């Protein structure tokens, strides 16, 4: 799992609390990586509690590393320095089995404020951190990412507002399955993963998929869940960080999973060390990617510049035929007394060109203010000047073409992250369905998949759908014809509702707009802005005439 699900987070938080409970907060700062660092002093040891609020690596962990790139103090950093520095960490606990951590802090310098709570919501793209007082319900003192009514009408996160936890559902504790009871659970593999996520606390998409794999191998549901949880209840468990062939961290797990079977891994004696490794290795990879992109951009800019310079030089070069024409006219004027002059005008003379085969008539322009000899010398001068200029320009052109070849070679030899990603087939990147009318419905699997659909698969006239204000997949509809378009849109909306966090609801609001009105956010993969949308109210389901392609 790239983002720890509730079950794994429980054990991580237990490890962290043992390290920093009672620690004194000495300094708070933020970084360019969307991290909030709390430098603490605990048991005669200095370390940092790192809260990563990046949507792709939303983690909390402790580290002794001090290689953080500090950012210019922002409002969030100033707020935390005001309230937390000098304070003591009283407790650090997970809220239920949810991906929410509550850090309780007592600051003796703010005795009137009482204890403070720092809520850290590690929920992927909605990751956030909120500082509150101890009132009931708590009031927000400050928030890392403000959320107003326009962004989420169900839950506003602004200073002065009352804080409420993300929506909680009544689920079964995963520890319940460790008891020796006949639970008589029976689901088909198709619906099992959805039921696990909806009914069991701390289980998300990754762990539910692992459970489904074990059930398909012949294990019963209770046994599969027990097999996943039991190793964590024993002393000396080992946590693995899995890496792709290119060295990019792919996930954290303590067992075996089909999706990680071909990957290499590093083993750690604690969740905290595994998370720390994943986090820093992920950023190392991202920084390599950014450096390569900058280098690629500069190489492209260099190539574009060389191309423009080459075209400019080519445009300045005199045509060889024009130069030869100047030379011939000079030679004809040189032997003019022996030539047949066909006609004379104020602009020049028409003579027979004896140097062409067969001889043809040629008009020679003459400057009336110059003598015949001077006109002849002028033609020879223009010819020599043009030739000399062409020779110099050819030398420059040769140098530019040589440099262009060198830059192109460097560009081709550069390892490309995109080329590696392109090896992934379309079917592995996204789900694809076909309706009975021949329309295509594409469904994103994750943030990268959603970005891939919007930027690579969709056309401007296609339709983009997404469940309103809640987590869900991006859906692209490519209609076959206009004849049944409204019916096809309804089907795609049902699919968008089905592949969302509210699959179990009776009716769901789904946003619809054309792809030309959707703009991906370059800073946040998988996120978009949109306009000219309309809302459809549909039942989450896979329509009967929609089948996998």
The confidence score (pLDDT) of residue 109 equals 84
Which helix H or strand E contains 103, and what residues bound it? strand 100-106
What DSSP line would sit under 197-260, residue for residue? HHHBTT--HHHHHHHHHHHHTT--HHHHHHHHHGGGGSTT--EEEEE-TTS-EEEEESS--GGG
Q: How confident is the model at residue 44 (pLDDT cuts 50, 70, 90)?
A: confident
Q: What is the dihedral of CA 179, 184, 189, 191, to 10 degrees?
A: -100
d(CA 95, CA 6): 9
Q: How confident is the model at residue 419 (pLDDT cuts 50, 70, 90)?
A: very low
Please provide residue 117's backbone torsions phi and psi, each rounded to the nearest 5 degrees: -125, 130
Q: Express each pLDDT in 232-259 by its tens digit.
A: 998 889 999 999 888 889 999 998 888 8
d(CA 357, CA 352): 11
d(CA 118, CA 156): 17
pLDDT over 60 at 17, yes or no: yes
Q: Mean pLDDT over all residues of the chain?
A: 88
Between 422 and 538, the higher pLDDT residue: 538
Q: How confident is the model at residue 421 (pLDDT cuts 50, 70, 90)?
A: very low
pLDDT over 90 at 110, yes or no: no
Q: How confident is the model at residue 153 (pLDDT cuts 50, 70, 90)?
A: confident
Q: Which residue has the tokens 């096809």?
A: 488
The confidence score (pLDDT) of residue 414 equals 61
Q: Express each pLDDT in 167-200 by its tens digit.
A: 888 899 998 888 766 555 667 666 888 888 888 9
Q: Which fold has domain 1-168?
A: ibrinogen binding protein from staphylococcus aureus fold (2.30.310)
pLDDT over 50 at 418, yes or no: no
Contact 162, 155 (CB under 8 A): no
- For the ranges 58-67, 157-166, 220-229, 296-305, the lowest mean pLDDT is seen at 296-305
* Domain chopping of the chain, boundaries: 1-168, 317-413, 426-548
Q: How confident is the model at residue 10 (pLDDT cuts 50, 70, 90)?
A: very high
d(CA 82, CA 305): 51
Q: Express each pLDDT in 278-294 by its tens digit.
A: 999 999 998 888 888 88
Q: Express each pLDDT in 353-369 by its tens digit.
A: 988 888 889 999 999 99
Which helix H or strand E contains 40, and what residues bound it? strand 35-42
Q: Which value, in Å, is the radius of gyration of the alpha carbons in the chain?
A: 36
In the β-sheet with 463-467, what is the strand arrangement from edge to edge?
534-538, 508-514, 463-467, 475-478, 440-444, 430-434, 547-548
Listed residue (209, 19, 187, 199) closest to 103, CA to CA: 19
Please provide residue 282's backbone torsions phi and psi, each rounded to the nearest 5 degrees: -65, -45
Q: Which two tokens stand for residue 92?
A: 């650090």
- For the ranges 293-297, 366-370, 408-412, the lowest mean pLDDT is seen at 408-412
The confidence score (pLDDT) of residue 184 equals 57
d(CA 100, CA 93): 9
Q: What residues pair up with 430 in beta bridges, in sequence order?
A: 444
The confidence score (pLDDT) of residue 104 equals 97
Q: Which residue has the tokens 């089909």?
A: 258
The confidence score (pLDDT) of residue 423 equals 40
Kindly give, in sequence order, each residue whose CB lies less than 8 Å from that of residue 300, ignoring residues fewer than 6 positions away.
Answer: 411
The confidence score (pLDDT) of residue 536 equals 94
Q: Express each pLDDT in 469-484 by its tens digit.
A: 888 999 999 998 888 8
Locate all alpha helices (DSSP H) within 414-484, ordered by sequence: 417-422, 426-429, 447-452
Distances (CA, A) of 331 to 296, 323, 337, 366: 54, 13, 12, 14
pLDDT over 50 at 444, yes or no: yes
pLDDT over 80 at 387, yes or no: yes
Q: What is the mean pLDDT of residues 301-325?
A: 89
The confidence score (pLDDT) of residue 521 equals 77
The confidence score (pLDDT) of residue 88 equals 95
Question: Is the bond into 358 cis (omega within 30 degrees of 0)?
Answer: yes
The confidence score (pLDDT) of residue 404 equals 82
Q: Which two tokens stand for residue 53?
A: 């609020």
pLDDT over 50 at 422, yes or no: no
pLDDT over 90 at 61, yes or no: yes
pTM above 0.85, yes or no: no
Distances (CA, A) of 156 to 101, 123, 150, 161, 478: 19, 16, 9, 7, 35
Listed residue (61, 52, 53) closest to 128, CA to CA: 53
Between 112 and 143, the higher pLDDT residue: 143
The confidence score (pLDDT) of residue 472 equals 92
Q: Estimate the crossing angle of helix 205-216 against helix 221-229, to 10 degrees.
A: 130
């Amino acid at each position: 799992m790239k983002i720890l699900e509730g079950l794994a987070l429980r054990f991580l938080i237990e490890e962290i609390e043992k390290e920093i409970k009672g620690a004194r907060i000495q300094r708070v700062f933020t970084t360019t990586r969307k991290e909030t660092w709390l430098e603490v002093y605990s048991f005669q040891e200095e370390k940092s509690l790192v809260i990563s609020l990046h949507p792709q690596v939303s983690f909390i962990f402790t580290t002794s590393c001090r290689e953080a790139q500090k950012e210019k103090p922002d409002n969030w950093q100033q707020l935390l320095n005001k309230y937390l520095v000098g304070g003591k960490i009283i407790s650090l606990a997970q809220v239920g089995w949810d991906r929410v951590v509550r850090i309780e802090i007592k600051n003796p310098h703010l005795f009137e404020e009482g204890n403070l709570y720092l809520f850290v919501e590690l929920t992927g793209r909605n990751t956030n951190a909120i500082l509150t007082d101890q009132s009931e319900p708590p009031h927000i003192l400050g928030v890392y990412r403000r959320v107003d009514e326009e962004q989420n009408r169900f839950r506003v996160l602004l200073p002065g507002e009352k804080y409420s936890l993300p929506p909680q559902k009544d689920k079964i504790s995963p520890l319940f399955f460790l008891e020796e009871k006949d639970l008589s659970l029976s689901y088909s593999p198709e619906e099992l993963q959805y039921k696990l996520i909806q009914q069991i606390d701390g289980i998300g998409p990754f762990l539910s998929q692992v459970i489904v794999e074990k059930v398909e191998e012949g294990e019963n549901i209770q046994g599969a869940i027990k097999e996943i949880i039991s190793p964590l209840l024993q002393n000396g468990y080992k946590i693995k960080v899995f890496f792709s062939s290119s060295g990019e961290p792919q996930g954290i797990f303590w067992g075996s999973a089909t999706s990680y079977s071909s990957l290499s891994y590093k083993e750690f004696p604690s969740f905290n060390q595994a998370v720390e490794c994943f986090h820093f290795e992920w950023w190392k990879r991202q920084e390599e990617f950014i450096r390569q992109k900058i280098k690629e951009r500069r190489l492209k800019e260099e190539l574009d510049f060389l191309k423009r310079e080459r075209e400019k030089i080519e445009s300045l070069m005199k045509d060889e035929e024009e130069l030869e024409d100047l030379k011939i006219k000079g030679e004809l004027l040189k032997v003019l007394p022996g030539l047949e002059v066909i006609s004379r005008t104020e602009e020049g003379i028409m003579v027979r060109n004896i140097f062409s085969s067969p001889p043809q008539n040629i008009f020679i322009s003459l400057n009336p203010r110059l003598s015949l000899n001077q006109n002849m010398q002028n033609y020879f001068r223009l010819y020599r000047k043009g030739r000399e200029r062409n020779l110099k320009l050819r030398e420059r052109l040769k140098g530019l073409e040589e440099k262009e070849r060198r830059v192109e070679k460097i560009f081709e030899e550069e390892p490309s992250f995109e080329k590696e990603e392109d090896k992934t087939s379309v079917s592995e990147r996204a789900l694809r369905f076909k309706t009975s009318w021949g329309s295509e419905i594409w469904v994103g699997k994750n943030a990268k998949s959603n970005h891939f659909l919007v930027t690579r698969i969709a056309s401007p006239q296609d339709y983009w759908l997404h469940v309103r204000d809640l987590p869900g997949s991006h859906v692209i509809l490519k209609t076959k014809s206009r004849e049944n378009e409204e019916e096809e849109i309804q089907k795609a909306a049902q699919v968008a509702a089905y592949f969302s966090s509210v699959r179990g609801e009776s009716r769901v609001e789904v946003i619809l707009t054309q792809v030309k009105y959707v703009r991906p956010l370059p800073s946040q993969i998988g996120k978009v802005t949109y306009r000219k949308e309309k809302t459809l109210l549909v039942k989450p389901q896979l329509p009967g005439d929609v089948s996998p392609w």
